[in-house]
Amino acid sequence: MIPKRTGVFLVVLFPFAAACSAALAADAPPGASSCSGCHPVSRSVDTPVKRLVGANPADIVGAVQEFRSGKRPATVMDRIAKGFTDDEIKAIAAWYGAQKD
């Protein structure tokens, strides 16, 4: 059984923690978090997959549009790109471009 004082603390703390988590998630546009499954956030990760953090948004938009059209060869990005509208791609690109290390 949880002591009364601890229970009160949890009841007060939980909504605050949930609000903080929601605020952090609200910063990223829908779909942006799926990119980090392949694209590294940290510079220290050694991978052939390009980092998106701090990239030029126009470059990201162009690349995703080329993946979607089949103009740029891909293993999975062509299928992923087809799942986003132009507005979603622009929002994700702008968000990644604004991120700093």
Radius of gyration of the chain (CA): 19
CA distance 4 to 8: 6
How high is the pLDDT of residue 5?
A: 57
Q: What is the pLDDT of residues 34-92, one digit of tens each?
A: 898 999 988 888 889 999 999 999 999 999 999 999 999 999 999 999 999 999 999 99
How high is the pLDDT of residue 2?
A: 59
Structure tokens at 89: 């791609």
Model pTM score? 0.71
How high is the pLDDT of residue 18?
A: 40
Q: 94 pLDDT exceeds 70?
A: yes
The Cα-based distances of 28 to 20, 50, 64, 88 in angstroms read 14, 19, 18, 11
Residue 13 or residue 70, greater confidence: 70
